Structure 1
Amino acid sequence: MATSLDSLLGEIRSCRLCQNALGFEPRPFVAASPAARLLIIGQAPGSKVHASGIGWNDDSGDRLRDWLGMDKATFYDTSKVAQMPSGFCYPGKASGGDKPPRPECAPRWHAALLAQMPNIGLTLLVGQYAQKRYLPRGFAPNLTEAVRQWRAAPEGLFPLPHPAWRSRIWMAKHPWFEANVLPDLRRRVAQVLGTD
C-alpha cells in the first residue's frame, strides 16, 4: 500500500481493476490533499468528467456549486475541497442515465484515502450510493428521507441528493430542501473552510 497521499493517488489513477467489466479504458478520477477540509463523495464520474479528467465538470457540478455557494476556484482547490467518488471511473451508459458506480472502488481505495486526509471537517454524501456506504444502517429508508433528516446525520456527514437535472423536479416537490437544507449547508461549508 501507498505510504503517502501522492503515491496513493498515483496508484488510484493507474488502477485497472474494473477494465474488463467496463469494456473501455478506465480513467479513474480523484482529487485530494492532506490539507483538504471539505470532502465530496459522489457517485461516479460522468462522460464529460471521463473526457476532461475534471470532477463535476458538467451541469451537475454547476448545480452543486450553486448549492454550496462556492465558486469554481474554491471548488477545485484541493487544499480546501477533496473529491472521492463512490466509483472512480465512468461506468458507462444505461437506459435512463449512467450505470451505477463500479462496486470495486470504494472497498479498495476509500479507507486508505480517508487516512491520508486528517483535516476533513465535513463530508458531503451526494446521492444514494455515498449515503448507503457512510450513513448508519437504518438511518433512513430512502434518499429523500436521508436528506430530510440531515440534522440527525452523524457528526461531519451531510446527505444531499445528486444534483442531476432531475434534482430540479425533486426540489419542486420538496421545497424544504431549498428553504432549510441549503442555508444550513452553505453555513457549514463556510464554517469548515473558514470563510464565514
Structure 2
Amino acid sequence: MTTSHDPADGLDAVLADIRACRACLGQLPHTPRPVVRVFPGTRLLICGQAPGRRVHESGLPFTDPSGDRLRQWLGVDYETFYADQRLGVAAQAFCYPGTAPHKNGRSGGDYPPPRRCAELWRPQLLAALPDVELTLLVGGYAQVWALRDQAKVNMTGTVRAWREYAPSILPLPHPSWRNTAWLRRNPWFEAEIVPYLRERVQGILAP
C-alpha cells in the first residue's frame, strides 16, 4: 500500500517510501529492490523500463552494457553520469521483473515492467521533481506509459516522430545489445537524434 504525499513534503519522503516498497513481494522471483536515483536539482530525467539483473545486484541504474551505450548517446562519461545531480534516473518500474525462460537455445529477455509500479509511484515522484527540463523515454514500454494515446503504433514510429514531443520529451530506443540490429536498420537515429540529444545534455549540464 502506498502513501500519498503532497509535493511540499519533499522528494526525500517520496524516495523513502519507494525504497521501502514491497508491493510486488511474492510476485517476483526475488526480493524487491527498488532502484531510483534522482535529486532535488534533477533537470534531465532518464525514464527507462525496469532494472536488469546487473542493476538489481548493484543497486545503481545502468551499470551494464546498456548503460555504456546510453552514456555514449548522451555524450557523458561514467563519472559524470553518477556524480552530477542534475541527471537523474527513474524507470517506469523500479524493481527487476525477472528474465523469461530460454527458448530454442536463445536467452530470454526480461519480463515487461509491471504497470502497478508506475501507477503507485510515478505521479508522486514527478510532482516532487519540478525542475526537470527534459525527460528521456527509453524503450517502448516507457513511451506507451508516458505518452498514452500520443505514442505511435510502435517504438520505431514514436522515436521517428521525436520532433512532436520536443523540447520537454525525447523518445529513445532501448540501448540494449538486443537493439543493435535495429540501430543498423535505422541509421537516422544516430545521424539525427543523437546529435540533438548531446546538444541538449550539454546545455542542461553546463556550469
Amino acid at match of 2:197: L
Matched, 1:34 2:40: yes
144-153 or 57-66: which moved more? 144-153
Q: Distance in 2 between matches of 1:179 and 1:163?
A: 16
Query: Which deviates more from structure 2 when the two are superposed, residues 18-27 or residues 157-166?
Result: 18-27
Distance in 2 between the 1:25 and 1:55 partners?
17
1:166 and 2:187 equivalent?
A: no
SS of the counterpart of 2:156?
A: helix
Q: Which moved more, 1:19-28 or 1:43-52?
A: 19-28
Q: Structure 1 residue 184 and structure 2 residue 196: aligned?
A: yes
Runs ≥4 residues deviating over 6 A = none
Distance 1:138 1:119, change over 3 A: closer
- Structure 2 counterparts to residues 48-67 of structure 1, below 5 A: 48-67=54-73
3-state SS of the aligned residue for 2:163?
helix
- TM-score, reference length from structure 2: 0.90
Aligned partners of 1:32 and 1:79 also within 8 Å: yes
Alignment of 1:6-17 (within 5 A): 6-17=12-23
What is the TM-score of this pair, normalised by structure 1? 0.94
Contact 1:74–1:80 (8 Å) recurs in 2: no
User: CA deviation digits over 1:128-160, x for unaligned, max 9?
Assistant: 111001125143111011111111115400000
Kept after mapping to 2: 8 A contact 1:89/1:102 = no
Report the Cα distance in structure 1 between the residues aligned to 2:163 and 2:203, rounded to whole angstroms. 16
Report how many residues are paired. Answer: 195
Unpaired segments of 5 or more residues in structure 1? none
In structure 2, runs of 5+ residues without a counterpart are: 102-107
